[in-house]
Structure 1
Amino acid sequence: MPRCQNCNFKWSWKDVMALSMKGKKECPNCQKRQYVSSRSTFWTTFLITMGFLMPMNVLRYYYEIGWPLIILAFVIYIPLVLMLTPFLYKLSNTGKRFGKTVE
């Protein structure tokens, strides 16, 4: 689980899920605003996307599985990913989008 950059408080899974939905949240311990780091956002998105697209493309091309199985795999994959992504996040004191600081 990620830790606050100010007080090193370890966030709970529930707090990190709320942070991921809004993009910013106050630390439950020190009340300083924390953001998901831009690097963490990039790598999480990359891993989620490639973790589904690459295997599905291989299965579709080589084994010719149908769209219903791909949709079923997607329906199973998304909740699993949503439960695991908070473990991949790192926190930051500043919010950045495309290299610019956002408040």
Structure 2
Amino acid sequence: MPICQNCGYTWSYAETLKRSFTLTSYMRCPNCEAAQFQTAKSRRSTALLTATSIVLIMGFTILFDPTLYSFALFCIALVLMITTYPRLIKLSKAEEHLF
């Protein structure tokens, strides 16, 4: 789970998941309200997870037509993403360039 670089607060799973659905480039710490940014490595990891899931679902749908199997794969991928995504997030005080 992410740890606030300002106050050392360890975010809970629910807080991390809730705060990751923002449109801003930062997430506010639930404890001290300081702006926290995802590290470049963390952004690459989460992007890779998302891209892999999308490619698997699309590939399975193209190969086997939209069926119950593709819906089941979508549900499994969604559950895996929701459980894995918050654990991949690492925070820093300053925004880092992706490359």
TM-score in terms of structure 2 length? 0.70
2:79 is aligned to: 79
Unaligned runs of 5+ in 1: none
Deviation at 1:20, TM superposition (A): 0.8
Q: How many residue pairs get matched?
A: 96
Q: Which has the higher strand share?
A: 1
SS in 1 for 2:89: coil
Question: CA 1:6 to 1:73, structure 2 compared with 1: closer, same or farther past 3 Å?
Answer: same
2:44 is aligned to: 42
8 Å CA contact retained: 1:26, 1:33: yes
Superposed CA offset, 1:78-98 (max 9, x none): 133123210110012123565
| Whole-angstrom CA distance in 2 between matches of 1:31 and 1:78 | 29
TM-score in terms of structure 1 length? 0.68
Unaligned runs of 5+ in 2: none
More divergent stretch after superposition (81-90 vs 27-36): 27-36
SS in 2 for 1:67: coil
Deviation at 1:44, TM superposition (A): 1.2
Counterpart check, 1:67 vs 2:69: no
Q: Identity of aligned pairs, percent?
A: 27
